Amino acid sequence: MEALTTFRSMDESTGEEWAAIAKSVSGDNGAMVDRVLTMLKSLQGSSLCMPIDPYEHCLQTATRAFKDGADEEIVVCALLHDIGDLMAPQNHAEFAAAILRPYVSDMAHGVVLLHEIFQGYHYFDKVGLDRNLRDRFRGHPAFAAAAEFCASWDQAAFDRSYEAMPLAAFEPMLHRVLGRPPYEGNTTDRVDFWGFRINMTPGGAAA
């Protein structure tokens, strides 16, 4: 495909060029869904010593959430919550939360971000850690939702005999959620680096 932009450095780029770039990025939702699906499928077979692999665990978590009537964005969050198990094993919650953040509510983003520590309520005591570590987040708006996410769906989704819905059943939901206008329902600061907070909503100023 012929490039619509010709700048050699960003300093010499034009507003028209950035408009073309923005259109290209926001119009490529289908390709993004494909990449997310490929990443999810790449978890197949990597057991990580768990009873089922992370791919099956994601399907099972999403199925349980769906069957309990969870909001569609939470079902999608359940499907993707461990997508970073291999790419970012030490902070996989942040990895998944970063992918989802532009397209889900602050609450759903908080659930994904907190799930790694909140899941610990169900096993940290078995590895010599404090299972109540999540208590440091008392008062967080997503506390109750994250606790429920883990208790009802995530920690319960390692059952080898459970029949999860196929990935294809979730694909339309994935397209709908990742097809939302980015940051539409996002009210929290988009970037918070050591206290330097920036809210990059369109037209908004850094705060």
CB nearer Fe ion, residue 92 or residue 105? 92
CA distance 27 to 159: 39
Least Å from the CB of residue 127 to Fe ion: 15
- The CB-of-111 to Fe ion minimum distance in angstroms stands at 11
Site string for Fe ion, 100-139 (x = CB under 5 A): ----------------------------------------
* Smaller CB separation from Fe ion, 103 or 154: 154
Other residues' Cβ atoms within 10 Å of the Cβ of residue 202: 8
Task: Give the count of beta carbons closer than 10 Å to the beta carbon of residue 52.
Answer: 18
One symbol per residue from 37 to 56: x for binding Fe ion (CB under 5 A), - otherwise; what is it?
Answer: --------------------
Helix, strand, coil % (nearest 5) of the chain?
A: 55, 5, 40
Query: In the set 43, 55, 77, 82, which binds Fe ion (CB under 5 A)?
Result: 82
- Residue 137 or 184 with smaller CB distance to Fe ion: 137
Q: Select the residue interacting with Fe ion from 77, 113, 145, 154 (CB under 5 A).
A: 154
Give dist(CA 141, CA 134) in Å, integer: 13
> Computed from CA positions of residues 12, 16, 19, 21, in that sequence, does the dihedral angle turn out positive or negative?
negative
Q: Which is nearer to Fe ion, 86 or 173 (CB)?
A: 86
φ and ψ at residue 187, rounded to 5 degrees: -110, -10
Give min distance, CB of 8 to Fe ion, in A: 43
Count of residues of this chain found to bind Fe ion when the rule CB under 5 A is applied: 2
* Window of 72-80, 138-146, 149-157, 166-174 that interacts with Fe ion by CB under 5 A: 149-157
Nearer to Fe ion, 114 or 178 (CB): 114
Closest CA to 116 of 68, 87, 84: 84
Q: Torsions phi, psi of 160, nearest 5? A: -65, -25
Query: What tokens were used for 81?
Result: 């919550």
State which H helix or E strand residue 46 sits in: none
Q: What is the C-alpha to C-alpha distance for residues 142 and 28, in angstroms, rounded to an integer?
A: 30
Q: Which is closer to Fe ion, CB of 140 or CB of 180?
A: 140
Which structure tokens are listed for 167?
């990935």
Select from 8-16, 31-39, 147-155, 162-170 the region that touches Fe ion (CB under 5 A).
147-155
Applying CB under 5 A, which residues contact Fe ion?
82, 154
